[in-house]
Structure 1
Amino acid sequence: MKFEEIKKLSISYLFANYSREEVCFEKGRGEFLYDLDGNEYLDLVAGIAVNILGHCHPAITKTVKEQVDKLVHVSNLYYIKEQAQLAQALATIMPEPLSRSLFVNSGAEANEAALKLAVKKTKRRRVVAVNNSFHGRTIGALSATGQQKYHDGFEPLLSNVFDFINYGDIEALKEMVTSETAAVILEPIQGEGGIVVPSAEFMRTARDVCTDRGALLIIDEVQTGLGRTGKMFAFEHFDIVPDIVTLAKGLGGGFPIGAIVSSDDVASAFQPGSHGSTFGGNPFVCRVATKVIEIIKSEGLDSRAREIGEAWISRMKSLCNSKPFDVRGKGLMIGIEMGEEAKQFQKFCFKDRILVNVCAGKVIRIVPALIISESSISRFDQTLLSYINSRS
């Protein structure tokens, strides 16, 4: 099928809720995608931090084929071996006392479940969230999202539940968390908000305030987790341990899964019937996710992301020295704040067959597969330099 036919079908039969680039991909390998004509694109978006091992990783492909031939779905009415094995694998990479998992199908679902768990455990109703955040598009997760553009047309949402402060505002955090607060929900690095890294003091204060006032600290690792930022989980950069961690995106290596992980004590608030998901934790995706964790651990991809990311960020800062661009991030979660030039640069990259995307309207987001090669990094650097020179 030709591209124009695919585009016509999409326009005719799909909801128009996505803005799409003029391309359709039919194959992927490693950090590369290939369009209908076989043209190769360097993928620095990775499905928005999803394809953490690249496209069609041989070990993942092998695991998929084996599991499809064995068992894809069975209800949570029964014990599921692959689900138990994934929960064990997550417990081995989480700090104590985070050892209990519940599986869903997406990041938004994970955050919804985490909010429910916090309310049920604490028997409180209010949640502190932050401006410029993003936690998903379902009603509860959207209510926790501190960006008006995502709220437009859907308000009032759960406005009587959430109290917002500015990300990084320590004094406001101390003031807002009260005896009525069930939880504080934070991204350890804001993704959709523009790759914003908070201070260690802010994150540690969040931990201390929650502990002191009996609230739970929920850390949304949907975009940052599984080695993306140079540590297995981004909260580790701040030497804190949350009460609840939410995961998705990279956990499935390209397949849909979400999870919440908590301690025995917090998890005990959920009893049979408290929460559930028809497809959550099915044998197929759990087997794949367990393999993803195994590969990240065995190949040291979290350490690799840290080493490569530090060097890459340093190099990009040097390349951008003549422009008022701000390069920031951790590991292989990198943002280049370009202001009004961000969308121009995205188009410039696209012409060079390099895929990046714009978040917060002004920041180039780079979240490639953790297996990205040095030659691919150099290819992007050359495109960045060419763009800067063309604007000099």
Structure 2
Amino acid sequence: MSSFKDIKAKSDKYLFQNYGRIPLSFDHGQGCYLFDSDGKRYLDLVAGIAVNSIGYSHPDWVKAVQDQAARMAHVSNLYHVEQQADLAERIASISPEGIDRTLFVNSGAEANEAALKMAVKYTGRHKVMSALNGFHGRTSASLGATGQVKYQSGFEPLISDAYEYYEYGDPESVKRMITKDVAAVLVEPIQGEGGVITADAEFFRTVRDLCTDSGALMIVDEVQTGIGRTGEWFGIDNFGVVPDAITMAKALGGGVPIGALAAKEEYAMTLVPGTHGTTFGGSPLVCAAGCATLDIMERENLVQNSKDLGAKWRRKISSIGSDKIKDVRGYGLMIGVEMDSPETASNVQAVCRENGVLVNVAHGKTVRLIPPLIIDEGQTDVFTDMLADIIR
């Protein structure tokens, strides 16, 4: 591998400078660890932003990808693709009751775009409701659904006036806004980019009831919360609510770019030939990776590990008992540690990195913990002890 200096110089010269990159470059990963260009090891509590849920270089996943690459990496959606059918069957088996049709795309933003197209075409309506402080992607329609000015600023001409924004977690806000013009209510089980913000079961049940009564589709964005992250296969499962459609991506492929829209058959049948498509979506390679990922998660009981270890980890962090920690929240292994200021959160991130632990800061002052689901208690204790030392 080239030196970090050479990698940075080439990046600075040839790449768009649209990322505020941390001064690190990684050579390889193993389990819950990444190794940089100088060979230093880091405990990764970011997991590629909730992507690498089975860790790095899992041998079963690697074999599945290698075997499929040797046979056929890509074939057009003009034909039937066996690996797509296999993965769709697996997704149906873990989804809420009745959600048993899947459309494959390449990312979470694309999944949300497809979901919105489906909702508008099915209902014939022209309004979409999404939450303030939410995040649904950076493509034009998904950016419109992202209720944060900082992401929309400068791109307003690309955003239609179809979007209206309710207060997340406030059922009365949704009730006041929903009308017969609303095609869909888009909601996250946890607002990840918004700072790991949670809502209670009453909120989700109310959204479900309002959508049923008004004829709008309830679409749950599980791009970050899905595939075991919250201690259930999908975040909405924590609240006993069945939506009309679910979007997913990130952890589904174990590290390869894949997205999916899963929906009830009545709505899925709206997208007939010619209404939506993608060249690369659902290739044999990424679907084989997705099948391997779900197989590993089931075999190694990673969803239950997320639930049990996540609850224990939140309790341990809360027990630090410092005024600098304002809140510890989340479900499973999606945890937000809200600090007293952006400066404190930034300092925690920097000191952890210096000491070989990677964390992420979301929405200014929340340290976001979204590690591989294979993580163990000893590894989570490394961060907890380090956090206690930093803030003391």
Q: TM-score, normalised by structure 1?
A: 0.98
Q: Counterparts in 2 of 1:224-235, with a 5 A limit?
A: 224-235=225-236
Residue matched to 1:260: 261
Match of 1:289 in 2: 290
Alpha-carbon contact 1:196-1:329 (below 8 Å) kept:
yes
Where do 4+ consecutive residues of structure 1 move more than 4 Å?
Answer: none
Structure 2 counterpart of 1:369, from 369, 372, 387: 372
Contact 2:53 2:371 in 1 (8 A): yes
1:312 matched residue in structure 2: 313
Deviation at 1:322, TM superposition (A): 4.4
Residue type at the aligned position of 2:348:
F
Q: Are the equivalent residues in 2 in contact too, given 1:320–1:388 (CA < 8 A)?
A: no
Farther off after superposition, 245-254 or 290-299? 290-299
1:112-131 alignment to 2 at 5 Å?
112-131=113-132
Letter in 1 for 2:243: P
Alpha-carbon shift at residue 324 of structure 1 (Å): 4.0
Structure 1 letter corresponding to 2:141: G
Instruction: Give the Cα–Cα distance (whole angstroms) in 2 for the partners of residues 357 and 94 of structure 1.
Output: 29
2:192 corresponds in structure 1 to: 191
| Most deviating of 336-345 and 200-209 | 336-345
Cα deviation 1:140-167 (Å, max 9, x = unaligned): 0000001110011111443410111111
Q: Which residue of 2 aligns with 1:269?
A: 270
Per the alignment, in what secondary structure is the counterpart of residue 99 of structure 1? strand
Q: Deviations over 1:20-65 (max 9, x none)?
A: 1111100100100001111100000000000010011111011111
Distance 1:235 1:163 in 2: 22
Contact in 2 for aligned 1:218/1:245 (Cα 8 Å): yes
Instruction: Work out the CA distance in 1 between the residues paired with 2:123 and 2:30.
Output: 46
Equivalent pairs, count: 389
Contact persistence 2:188–2:221 (CA under 8 A): yes
Distance apart, 1:316 and its partner CA: 0.2
Residue 154 of structure 1 aligns with an amino acid whose one-letter code is F
Query: Aligned to 1:69, what secondary structure does the other structure show?
Result: helix
Which AA in structure 2 matches 1:349?
Answer: C
In 1, Cα distance between the equivalents of 2:235 and 2:248?
11
The Cα of 1:321 is off from its aligned counterpart by 3.8
Tell me the residue number matched to 1:357. Answer: 360
Other structure's SS at 2:52 match? coil
2:20 alignment counterpart = 19
Provide the residue aligned with 1:9 in structure 2: 10
**Could you tell me which residue of structure 2 aligns to residue 62 of structure 1?**
63
- Taking the aligned partners of 1:157 and 1:23, their CA distance within structure 2 comes to 34
1:343-377 Cα distance to aligned partner (Å, 9 max, x none): 11111111111100111011111000000122211
* Aligned-pair Cα RMSD in Å: 0.9
Between the aligned partners of 1:212 and 1:223, the Cα distance in structure 2 is 28
Q: Which amino acid aligns with 1:357?
A: N
| Alignment deviations for residues 95-130 of structure 1 (CA, whole Å, 9 cap, x no partner) | 221000000000000000000000011111100111
C-alpha distance in structure 1 between counterparts of 2:166 and 2:221, whole Å: 17
Q: CA separation in 1, counterparts of 2:321 and 2:184?
A: 40
**Structure-1 residue corresponding to 2:391:** 388
TM-score by length of 2: 0.98
Amino acid at match of 2:137: G
- Which has the larger displacement, 268-277 or 290-299? 290-299
- Secondary structure of 1:325's counterpart equals strand
Show the 5 A alignment for 1:1-392.
1-338=2-339, 339-340=341-342, 341-389=344-392
Identity %: 50
SS in 2 for 1:128: strand
Question: Do the aligned residues in 2 keep the contact of 1:63 with 1:287 (CA within 8 Å)?
Answer: yes
TM-superposition CA deviations, 1:148-204 (whole Å, max 9, x none)? 100111114434101111111211101211111000000110000000011111111
8 Å Cα contact 1:190/1:197 also seen in 2: yes
Q: Report if aligned partners of 2:122, 2:270 keep a CA contact under 8 Å in 1.
A: yes
Q: Distance in 2 between matches of 1:354 and 1:320?
A: 21
1:228, 1:164 → 2: CA distance?
Answer: 26
- Give the drift of 1:300: 1.7
The aligned amino acid for 1:251 is L
Q: Is the 8 A contact 1:120 1:269 kept in 2?
A: yes
3-state SS, counterpart of residue 367 of structure 2: strand
Looking at structure 2, the residues matched to 306 and 82 of structure 1 have their Cα atoms a distance apart, in angstroms, of 29
Q: Which amino acid aligns with 2:16?
A: F
More off after superposition, 100-109 vs 170-179: 170-179
5+ residue gaps, structure 2, are: none
Q: Deviations over 1:267-312 (max 9, x none)?
A: 1111001100100000000011011111112222111100000000
